[in-house]
């Protein structure tokens, strides 16, 4: 029943796409860094309009071949925005959240081309914790078969070999391991941000330390509103979403090895955060 309802909604959305909004900003990553929690906090604001059906449309990574009408059909009607503007005196902003956008090699180029002027929000966390969390997440969802985190990390280079080249040469293809097994690669945040900078400029990219978001949510939330140039309205409820329990802690020896691996990438992240990452203090 749910699938049928969503199918009808998508068809309706496509047929009315010309009368719908396009996003003014995207939460585009990183995976396992609090994107769902931020999305749900922002969705409580009356001027920030989420997609009609679900959080992530995944157009710029997995669904680009479906075309712009399919994408625009996921967002609220422009008439709804007119009514909200009349009520609040300010133009509402549509948005979506898809953590794979940050890592996919073509997503940034597609977004810059199709959404001129769009703003981007990126959350980052301790990349060692992110990698360990991502492995637990993929294992629980059945996308990972190797139960030992350390061995999954060892397999990563082999699994991801040639993935970027394939995705660029076959733009509408998918690469299973690139999406589900990039435990270390997704945590090299500065590499991904530096790829976006020439396309958008730093003034249109906000990078948040997810530790700050979870320990001082109001401060991070207000920083996002300031970036979006939207006034505060109401009092949002901040909750953690998509957390997962882990069967055992990460061995300290593995943590230290991975911290050394990420050291240079964390250093390159300092200008984006305006200071040392929380996990390096």
Query: Mind giving me the DSSP string for the chain?
Result: -HHHHHHHHHHHHHHTGGGB--EEEEE---TTSSHHHHHHHHTTSTTEE--SS-S---TTTT-GGG-HHHHHTTS-BHHHHHHHHHHHSS--EEEEE-THHHHSTTHHHHHHHHSTT-EEEEEE--HHHHHHHHHHHHHHHTS-----HHHHHHHHHHHHTTHHHHHHHSTT---HHHHHS-TTGGG-HHHHHHHHHHHH-GGGEEEEEHHHHHHSHHHHHHHHHHHHT----S-PPP---S----SSPPPHHHHHHHHHHHHHHHHHHHHHHTS--GGG-
Instruction: Tell me what pLDDT residue 5 has.
Output: 40
How confident is the model at residue 234, as a pLDDT?
Answer: 85
Q: The whole model's pTM is what? A: 0.92
Domain count along the chain:
1
- Tens of pLDDT along the chain (281 residues)? 545 544 545 555 566 888 999 999 999 999 999 999 999 999 999 999 999 977 779 999 999 999 999 999 999 999 999 999 999 999 999 999 999 999 999 999 999 999 999 999 999 999 999 999 999 999 999 999 999 999 999 999 999 999 999 999 999 999 999 999 999 999 999 999 999 999 999 999 999 999 999 999 999 999 999 999 999 998 899 987 666 566 678 999 999 999 999 999 999 999 999 999 999 98
- The predicted pLDDT at position 18 comes to 86
Residue 79 sits in a domain of what CATH number? Answer: 3.40.50.300
Question: What is the domain range of residue 193?
Answer: 2-280
């Amino acid at each position: 029943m749910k699938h049928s309802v969503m199918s009808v909604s998508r068809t309706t959305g496509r047929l009315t796409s010309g009368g719908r909004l396009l996003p003014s900003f995207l939460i585009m990553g990183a995976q396992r860094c609090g994107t769902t929690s931020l999305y749900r906090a922002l969705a409580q604001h009356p001027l920030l309009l989420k997609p009609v059906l679900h959080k992530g449309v995944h157009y710029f990574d997995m669904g680009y071949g479906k075309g712009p009408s399919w994408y625009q059909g996921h967002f609220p009607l422009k008439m709804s925005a007119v009514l909200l503007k009349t009520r609040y005196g300010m133009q509402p902003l549509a948005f979506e959240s898809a953590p794979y956008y940050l890592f996919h090699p073509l997503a940034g180029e597609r977004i810059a081309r199709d959404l001129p002027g769009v703003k981007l929000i990126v959350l980052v966390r301790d990349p060692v914790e992110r990698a360990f969390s991502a492995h637990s997440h993929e294992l629980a969802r059945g996308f990972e078969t190797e139960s030992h985190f350390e061995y999954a990390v060892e397999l990563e280079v082999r699994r991801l070999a040639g993935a970027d080249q394939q995705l660029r040469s076959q733009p509408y293809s998918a690469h299973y391991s690139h999406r589900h097994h990039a435990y270390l690669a997704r945590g090299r945040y500065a590499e991904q941000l530096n790829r976006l900078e020439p396309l958008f400029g730093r003034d249109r990219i906000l990078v948040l330390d997810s530790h700050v978001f979870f320990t001082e949510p109001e401060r991070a939330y207000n920083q996002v509103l300031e970036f979006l140039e939207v006034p505060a309205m109401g009092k949002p409820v901040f909750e953690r979403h998509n957390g997962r329990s882990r069967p055992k802690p990460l061995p300290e020896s593995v943590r230290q090895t991975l911290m050394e691996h990420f050291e240079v990438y964390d250093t390159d992240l300092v200008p984006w955060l305006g200071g040392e990452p929380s996990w390096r203090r």
